Chain A
């Protein structure tokens, strides 16, 4: 009989176990049935890009969520620094004129 616990029958005990080498982290983007753009849905680990797409299919599209998958290795994403959020974002808070709320939309145009 097969027990799942026998998956690694000859793995040495914890004290001598070597450091675990994790697969790289991938960020997953899915385009939904009616969505125009891919949206970030989460991340996962995989050894290469093909397996990352397969894993994304199994983890994130089980309930018919998507028609297209993008994956990108997380280390390739450049991100803004949270410590710079003052200079980056606060200046726009006082620029109300950037919102197009200062003119009337003719009724014929309908919802914008």
Chain B
């Protein structure tokens, strides 16, 4: 691992951890509010899986950075411009269908990414991926089934799912665009070139959306700027004010 730039490795690990942290928090916003009890518990389980993965990714990021920052420090004491999650995961929950569409689009990318990361030349990353991939395999089955159920459901649920897909599809492209960090990780064998994940993603997503009788919008426009930290959407700052409220109001507070 000596030939990998440690600051770029830190950047990559923050991207993985911030994706799961921000989406985990978003999904946890449903706790106690989901349409039915069974979905409420399932969403909370998913959120907890993602937060658990965050602890591993950001914990390793803190080690790599070597500035004595813990996973908690990274999660709770950074401001918007230091977050490296893709824009998709910070988008608001909307209705239940929109939440499940966002989940499915992320899960499909996440599973392909984690599968590739199980072969990382960095054993620490391969170990985190091996643990996470089992959780995410379930996430994508569940969210995919729900997308099919609602897309191919009533006219009202179909309308809402198509609207959610139209809204969220422009956020898909960012997950597959490589920058200097991705290129360095791919070159060193730490992580795949994100573009190589697109075929597996497209195969799964097209199959599910066809079953769901939904139509992928035309056009290749993609919002960008989340994972590079260049420009997050307005929603992330609001999310952080809630997620980080305790540490902001009571710095250093512990249980």
Contacts and interface: CB of A to CB of B under 8 A. Distances in A.
B95 A44 contact: no
Contact of A54 (B26, B32, B145): B145
B41 interface: yes
B95 A51 contact: no
A26 B141 CA distance: 20
A102 interface: no
Given A2-B235, A4-B93, A8-B95, A46 B38 contact: yes
B149 interface: yes
Interface in B91-139: 92-96, 138
A59 interface: yes
A58 B33 contact: no
19 contacts: A1-B239, A2-B26, A2-B29, A2-B92, A2-B235, A4-B32, A4-B93, A6-B94, A6-B95, A7-B93, A47-B149, A51-B145, A51-B149, A54-B145, A57-B138, A58-B38, A58-B45, A59-B38, A62-B45
Interface of B: 26, 29-30, 32-33, 35-38, 41-42, 45, 92-96, 138, 141-142, 145, 149, 235, 238-239
Contacts of B93: 2, 4, 7
Contacts of A5: 33
B33 A55 contact: no
B42 A54 contact: yes
B202 to A, nearest CB: 24
Given A2-B94, A45-B36, A59-B42, 19 more contacts: A1-B235, A1-B238, A2-B26, A2-B29, A4-B29, A4-B93, A6-B95, A7-B35, A7-B95, A44-B37, A51-B145, A54-B42, A55-B42, A57-B138, A58-B38, A58-B42, A58-B45, A62-B41, A62-B45
Given A23-B36, A47-B149, A62-B45, A54 B235 contact: no
Nearest to A54: B142
Nearest to B142: A54
Interface in A43-69: 44-47, 50-51, 54-55, 57-59, 62
Nearest to A58: B42
B41 A59 contact: yes
Residue from B35, B38, B92, B141 with most neighbouring chain A CB atoms (10 Å): B38
A5 B95 CA distance: 9
A9 interface: yes
Nearest to A10: B95
A4 B38 contact: no
B41 A58 contact: yes
A30 to B, nearest CB: 15
